Structure 1
Amino acid sequence: MHRKLFTLKEANDLLPTIKAELANLQKLSNELEAQHTIYQILKNKTVDTSSEPLFELESRLEFKQLEIKLFVENFTRKGVLLKMIEPGLLDFPSVVDGKEVLLCWREGEERITHYHEHEDGFAGRRPHPES
Structure 2
Amino acid sequence: MDVKLFTVEEANGMLPDLIADLKVLQKLADDIEEKQRELLRAKARQRSSGASDGEDPFFEAESMIDFLKMEGELLVGNFARKGVQLKMIHPGLIDFPAMIDGENVLLCWREGEERVMHYHTWHDGFQGRKPLA
Q: Return the TM-score normalized by structure 2.
A: 0.92
Task: Using the TM superposition, name which of 13-22 and 36-45 deviates more.
Answer: 36-45
Residue 91 (structure 1) shift:
0.5
CA displacement, residues 8-42 of structure 1 (integer Å, 9 cap, x when unaligned): 00000000000000000000000000000001111
Q: What is the CA–CA distance in structure 2 between the aligned matches of 1:99 and 1:51, rounded to whole Å?
A: 56
Q: What is the CA–CA distance in structure 2 between the aligned matches of 1:25 and 1:104, rounded to whole Å?
A: 19
Matched, 1:81 2:91: no
Counterpart pick for 1:119 among 120, 123, 131: 123
Identity %: 50
- In structure 2, the residue matched to 1:8 is 8
Matched position secondary structure for 1:91 = strand
Matched, 1:27 2:31: no
- In structure 1, the residue matched to 2:94 is 90
The runs of at least 4 aligned residues of structure 1 exceeding 6 Å deviation read none
Matched, 1:50 2:82: no
Residue 55 (structure 1) shift:
1.3
Matched, 1:63 2:71: no
* Structure 1 residue ranges without an equivalent (≥5): none
Q: What is the CA–CA distance in structure 1 between the aligned matches of 2:16 and 2:74, rounded to whole Å?
A: 19
Which of the pair has more CA radius of gyration? 2
Question: What is the number of equivalent residue pairs in this alignment?
Answer: 128
Which amino acid in structure 1 is aligned with residue 90 of structure 2?
E
Matched position secondary structure for 1:112 = coil
Q: Return the TM-score normalized by structure 1.
A: 0.93
Q: What is the CA–CA distance in structure 2 between the aligned matches of 1:23 and 1:60, rounded to whole Å?
A: 20
CA displacement, residues 25-66 of structure 1 (integer Å, 9 cap, x when unaligned): 0000000000000011112222437334x1111111011101
